[in-house]
Structure 1
Amino acid sequence: MAFAAFADSLNFSEAARRLHISQPALHVKVRKLSERLDRPLYCRVGRSLELTEHGELIARYGRQLRDGTADLLAQLHGLAERPVTLAAGEGAYLYLLHAGIKAFQNGAPAPLRLLTLNREEALAAVLCGKAQLGVAPLDDVPDQLQSMVLTTVGQVLAVPQSHRLAGRTRVKLTDLAGERLVVPPRGRPHREMLAALLRAADVSWEVALEANGWELMLSFVAMGAGAAVVNACCRLPAGVVAIALPELPVLRYHCFHLRGLAKSTPAGHLRAALQDRGNAWKTST
């Protein structure tokens, strides 16, 4: 568990303070663990420390052991359950998970801690044990994880009511030729996916603005800065309409966790609440 504390911060001084031991003593513990396993557990990259592949594995085991011990002690002494940690993106919290989170909190089996992370970060948080559950749109699920589809979400074109396409019920990618689009910054998955599909359709377009997050993108659409391709679950501001884009892929939002999650645990209750209400957005939009 000492290694788990070090892995949480990758800082010997901070971890030693949390463990109430000296920094040299923690160094010795980590070094002896590495020698016993005959594997390097961390390495130095520039001025920072990073866990090796084996270090990530040991950290995950250490966190599970630490959390399990905390849960046992809480039950023995009648203490409150430790928080359940959920990792998801801002859009998922805003549009997809509200009903499930509210239902879980009404039952109050344990406190809830929310991490706002992108897809890759949420996967990493669950794999290393920093979060018990994650929610994100996935195509492939790592072997170490179990997952279930919470809901499927299409993609739509959001335009001002005065836009030339506003009266349409659906559009094709070729209809976007010459459009000025509000998009995420370069490198973000949504931007890269959209750019690749438009390029494959031989559609030229312009960047109107770069913005992070559906809310900000839609606010710029409402201001008349351009059109935007967003998830169909998004709540539209006044003066903005959504038009179906059937050529774009449907997103499957998964709830994922390490294998062996028990239904009777608080994390199991949260998973059930999210699953039961995964489609609630379809009746509230």
Structure 2
Amino acid sequence: MPSKSLPPQRFPYKSDRLKPLRAFCQTTRLGSVSRAAEALYVSQPAISLQLQALERELGVKLLERSGRRLVPTREGEALYALAMPLVEGLDALPAAFRREIGGLDAGELKVAANSSTILYLLPRIVDLFRRQHPDVRLSLQDAITADGTDLLRSDAVDLVVGSMVDVPGDLSYAPVYRFDPILLTPLDHALARSKRLTLEEIARYGLILPPKRQVTYRLVDQVFQQARLPYTVALEVGGWEVIKQYVAMGMGISVVSSICLAADDAERLATRPVAEWFPPRSYGVVVRKGKVLSPQARAFIELIRPDLFSRRDREDPGHSER
């Protein structure tokens, strides 16, 4: 007798797959069922039931408690990486569709960047963007990169332009520009005349640096710590222009990124290359992994470098700099 063909295998997909996945993603992102329920405007029992149903269907434990937070298991992390882009993409579909059919004639774009990036890197990009898309409301928020990434995670901004060293797993950083470190001194300073500069000589003079939270301070401190050289911070002050002014007034010396140097600085400041000891700085674009970029955000990034993230998606991202 001829054997009967087996019926096609049926998978227990529920009629609404999006709800339990959305509940899982929000719980993972926020760390609690109650906060996920508030974000999704449903009851806590509803979230709990959806999580239980998802775990039963997949046959694995997805979340476990760590202190007061719920954190994903190894299997949960894998599901979150797969599901979050899908959930965000579907949730953003209506707005994205309206933007696409409306083109770039309207809407808004919010970009976070620190003051030096806004001052030295973005003017040309902003000018081009405004001339090409005059009806888009562009907002530049002055924030150091660490604060900018917090704004990015909360969807308060669309992207961040800045400098990174350690890139969190939920973000993508694509460096575009590279700037060498420069020692800045008054014109008549001894280090400006020194024939062969050494790190020990630099350590003898008081430094003017950005605040400790900023990357520059941490990088300078790391160099001296690794060399086991004591050094003195004469002044902490924000903003490269202020630092340059105070150095010119003889209040101290500084290690800056060449991004901040202008042609007329040579009239009041002496510069020496210090790449032998201090690392270069990269500046680029930071976005959330899996986040669907708006047409406005894509257009802005294209002006910085075309196909920036498309190209990196095909490469090993490796370790990035901040």
TM-score of the aligned structures, taking structure 2 as reference length: 0.62
Aligned residue for 2:139?
A: 113
Aligned residue for 1:203?
A: 229
Do structure 1's residue 98 and structure 2's residue 123 form an aligned pair?
Answer: yes
How many residues get paired?
Answer: 251
Do structure 1's residue 242 and structure 2's residue 242 form an aligned pair?
Answer: no
Q: Judging changes above 3 Å, is the alpha-carbon distance between structure 1 residues 83 and 66 closer, same or farther for their aligned structure 2 residues?
A: farther
Select between 76-85 and 218-227 the one with higher mean Cα deviation.
76-85
Do structure 1's residue 267 and structure 2's residue 297 form an aligned pair?
Answer: yes
Please tell me the residue identity of whatever aligns with 1:249.
Answer: P
Aligned residue for 1:48?
A: none
Aligned residue for 1:256?
A: 286
Aligned residue for 2:209?
A: 183
Where does structure 1 lack aligned partners over 5 or more consecutive residues? 1-24, 40-50, 279-285
Shift of 1:35: 4.9
Please tell me the residue identity of whatever aligns with 1:92.
Answer: T
How far apart in 1 are the matches of 2:46 and 2:250?
Answer: 60
Aligned residue for 2:256?
A: 230
Matches within 5 A, 1:1-285: 29=42, 31=44, 34-35=47-48, 69-73=94-98, 81-108=106-133, 110-167=136-193, 171-235=197-261, 237=265, 238-246=267-275, 247-259=277-289, 265-275=295-305
Q: Judging changes above 3 Å, is the alpha-carbon distance between structure 1 residues 156 and 38 closer, same or farther for their aligned structure 2 residues?
A: same
How far apart in 1 are the matches of 2:162 and 2:103?
Answer: 35
Shift of 1:228: 0.9
SS state at 2:259 partner:
coil
Give CA-to-partner distance per residue, 1:168-195, whole Å, 9 cap, x none.
6984322213101112334443223212
How far apart in 2 are the matches of 1:270 and 1:263?
Answer: 11
Larger Rg: 2
Q: Judging changes above 3 Å, is the alpha-carbon distance between structure 1 residues 224 and 26 closer, same or farther for their aligned structure 2 residues?
A: closer
SS state at 1:165 partner:
helix
Amino-acid identity (%): 22
Shift of 1:250: 1.0
TM-score of the aligned structures, taking structure 1 as reference length: 0.69
SS state at 2:130 partner:
helix
TM-align CA RMSD: 4.3
Please tell me the residue identity of whatever aligns with 2:303.
Answer: A
How far apart in 1 are the matches of 2:166 and 2:39?
Answer: 38
Please tell me the residue identity of whatever aligns with 1:105.
Answer: R
Contact 1:85/1:113, CA 8 A, preserved across alignment: yes
Shift of 1:124: 2.5
SS state at 2:192 partner:
coil
Contact 1:84/1:113, CA 8 A, preserved across alignment: yes
Shift of 1:166: 1.8
How far apart in 2 are the matches of 1:35 and 1:197?
Answer: 50
How far apart in 2 are the matches of 1:62 and 1:30?
Answer: 20
Please tell me the residue identity of whatever aligns with 1:274.
Answer: I
Contact 1:161/1:240, CA 8 A, preserved across alignment: yes
Give CA-to-partner distance per residue, 1:61-114, whole Å, 9 cap, x none.
998777654454466689952211111111111112221222111111622111
Where does structure 2 lack aligned partners over 5 or more consecutive residues? 1-37, 53-68, 73-79, 309-322
Give CA-to-partner distance per residue, 1:230-258, whole Å, 9 cap, x none.
11110354411221111101112121223
Please tell me the residue identity of whatever aligns with 1:241.
Answer: A
